[in-house]
């Protein structure tokens, strides 16, 4: 149904995840949990709202994570 959600934090990504990468991961999550690749018209609003909220939560999570050894290189 959908591809795997990729890790969005260093060292998996060399740089900070983009808004587009975060939204793509949120979309994949909602697709997996709901079982719908694309929602019917009557479910579209709640589906898109879930993607938006999960993307926001993901951005907060990634911004708050402290990665050991990050920036510790000489």
The two structure tokens encoding residue 2: 């959908």
Its pTM stands at 0.82
Q: What is the average pLDDT score of the chain?
A: 88
Neighbour tally for 43: CB within 10 Å: 13
So where are the chain's domains?
A: 37-62
In tens, the pLDDT along 5-37 reads 889 988 888 889 999 999 999 999 999 999 999
Neighbour tally for 52: CB within 10 Å: 13
pLDDT of residue 14: 83
Indicate if the pLDDT at residue 73 is higher than 60: no
């Amino acid at each position: 149904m959908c591809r795997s959600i990729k890790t969005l934090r260093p060292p998996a990504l060399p740089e900070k995840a983009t808004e587009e990468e975060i939204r793509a991961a949120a979309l994949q999550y909602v697709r997996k949990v709901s079982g719908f690749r694309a929602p019917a018209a009557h479910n579209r609003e709640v589906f898109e709202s879930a993607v938006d909220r999960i993307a926001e939560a993901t951005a907060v999570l990634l911004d708050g994570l402290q990665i050991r050894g990050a920036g510790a290189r000489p």
